[in-house]
Amino acid sequence: MPISDSSFKSAAVTGGTGAIGKAISRQLASNGYSVTLFSRDEKKSQKSVKDIVSATGNEQVDYQLVDLSRLVSIQDLRCRWSGRLDILINNAGITPKERKETPEGIELQFATNVLGYFWMIQEFKDLLIEFSPSRIINVASYWAGGLDLNDLEFEQRPYSNGAAYRQSKQADRMLTVAFADRLKQDNVMVNACHPGDVNSTLSNNLGFGGHQTPDQGAETPVWLATSPAVKNVTGQYFERKQQVHCPYGDDKQKVESLFQICSQYADEADI
Ligand SMILES: NC(=O)c1ccc[n+]([C@@H]2O[C@H](COP(=O)([O-])OP(=O)(O)OC[C@H]3O[C@@H](n4cnc5c(N)ncnc54)[C@H](OP(=O)(O)O)[C@@H]3O)[C@@H](O)[C@H]2O)c1
């Protein structure tokens, strides 16, 4: 594996077994992309691939197992990956009601929702540069805020899954700006979006239902990944396929501080 026939443009979707990720993957497969779900549960992955192949008739759909909360697992995935990559969609997310940690001792929402995005871009950016023009989409949320650079892991503040989630989505939007600045010269476009309000494990844990279908939630990420209308746009935030000003990108010093802190996690994990 993989998987990618080099004649197909290749897209990877993290959390491709979830509500929105599966719909994103199916829509990309419908559009003729070779799609790989980066997911952690083998049974769910097999079922998702089967469903997408049968719905689209596109046989170029597969999965790779990875725990996106752990750098070591992402690095292992990168070693296994050969072939092209044109689109990376960071979409996986988690909202545990209790504070949990990874085996490395990192708070789980920060590890999955923020460092998972950061590490995926760091590990796969060489390929995205090689196959540029290419695109990275960070699935974030309009529900974002409360980021505390001094307490990213909720060690000093009381943990609530809503507060940790809002912080993580603010961080995703800030890191979009940081990576866009770094990758623009290599023709890798990096944008963030709110997908939509969709009924899912993630939203249910936060106490929300969701009034949009997974397919509606997938529309903006897929459009950002594929539309010629945004081929030269980078570092921006979108809702309903519309660019929306994101205040979290304005404070460049804070954006850079977050980027440096995330980089240090990689350094520490490598030691
Ligand atoms: N739903 C909404 O209303 C809404 C609103 C705004 C933004 N969003 C954003 O949309 C994205 C997708 O959310 P969703 O609603 O589709 O959630 P979901 O249905 O709960 O899907 C989350 C996906 O992430 C995967 N995942 C979680 N931790 C992982 C890990 N450590 N390694 C690998 N995969 C992991 C899950 O895998 P398992 O199935 O194995 O757990 C699942 O495939 C998230 O980034 C979320 O912040 C959603």
The response to whether residue 74 sits with its C-beta less than 6 Å from ligand 1 reads: no
Residue whose tokens read 């944008």: 191
pLDDT beyond 60 at 6: no
Lowest mean pLDDT among 27-41, 91-105, 256-270: 256-270
pLDDT beyond 80 at 109: yes
Mean pLDDT of 121-128: 98
3-state secondary structure of 202: helix
The response to whether residue 201 sits with its C-beta less than 6 Å from ligand 1 reads: yes
pTM comes to: 0.96
- For 36-59, the pLDDT digits (tens) are 999 999 999 999 999 999 999 999
The response to whether residue 92 sits with its C-beta less than 6 Å from ligand 1 reads: yes
Nearest protein CA to atom 4 of ligand 1, as residue: 197
pLDDT beyond 60 at 73: yes
Q: List the CATH number of the domain containing 151.
A: 3.40.50.720
Nearest to 93 by CA among 56, 47, 39: 39
3-state secondary structure of 172: helix
Whole-angstrom distance, CA of residue 133 vs CA of residue 127: 11
Could you tell me if residue 248 is inside a domain? yes
The response to whether residue 203 sits with its C-beta less than 6 Å from ligand 1 reads: yes
Cα(185) to ligand 1 centroid in Å equals 31
Asked if 14 and 120 touch (Cβ cutoff 8 Å), the reply is yes
Looking at the CA of residue 70, tell me the nearest atom of ligand 1. 31
Mean pLDDT of 21-45: 98
Residue 8: predicted pLDDT: 73
Mean pLDDT of 30-37: 97
What percentage of the chain reaches a pLDDT higher than 70?
96
Nearest to 218 by CA among 5, 6, 47, 27: 27
Mean pLDDT of 28-33: 97
pLDDT beyond 50 at 271: no
Cα(20) to ligand 1 centroid in Å equals 7
- Give the DSSP letter of residue 114: I
Range of the domain at 197: 10-270
188-194: strand order across its sheet: 61-65, 34-39, 10-14, 87-90, 134-139, 188-194, 237-239, 242-244
Could you tell me if residue 5 is inside a domain? no
Looking at the CA of residue 200, tell me the nearest atom of ligand 1. 19
Could you tell me if residue 2 is inside a domain? no
Residue 5: predicted pLDDT: 45
Q: How confident is the model at residue 269 (pLDDT cuts 50, 70, 90)?
A: low
What is the per-residue DSSP string for 62-104? EEEE--TT-HHHHHHHHHH--S---EEEE------SS--B-TT
- For 197-246, the pLDDT digits (tens) are 999 999 999 999 999 999 999 999 999 999 999 999 999 999 999 999 99
Mean pLDDT of 236-263: 97
Looking at the CA of residue 208, tell me the nearest atom of ligand 1. 3
List, by residue number, the catalytic residues: 165
Nearest protein CA to atom 5 of ligand 1, as residue: 197
Taking every pair of Cα atoms in the chain, the longest distance, rounded to a whole number of angstroms, is 51
Could you tell me if residue 155 is inside a domain? yes
Q: How confident is the model at residue 267 (pLDDT cuts 50, 70, 90)?
A: low
The response to whether residue 52 sits with its C-beta less than 6 Å from ligand 1 reads: no
Burial of 152: CB neighbours in 10 Å, binned 0-12, 13-18, 19+: buried
Average pLDDT score over the chain: 95
- For 155-202, the pLDDT digits (tens) are 999 999 999 999 999 999 999 999 999 999 999 999 999 999 999 999
Could you tell me if residue 143 is inside a domain? yes
What percentage of the chain reaches a pLDDT higher than 90?
94
Nearest to 198 by CA among 50, 65, 20, 74: 20
Could you tell me if residue 186 is inside a domain? yes
AA letter at 203: S
Residue 266: predicted pLDDT: 81
Could you tell me if residue 220 is inside a domain? yes
Whole-angstrom distance, CA of residue 58 vs CA of residue 52: 8
pLDDT beyond 50 at 2: no
Cα(42) to ligand 1 centroid in Å equals 16
Q: What share of the chain is helix, strand, coil (3-state, %, to 5)?
A: 50, 15, 35
Could you tell me if residue 4 is inside a domain? no
**Looking at the 3D structure of the chain, how many domains does it have?**
1
Mean pLDDT of 80-95: 96
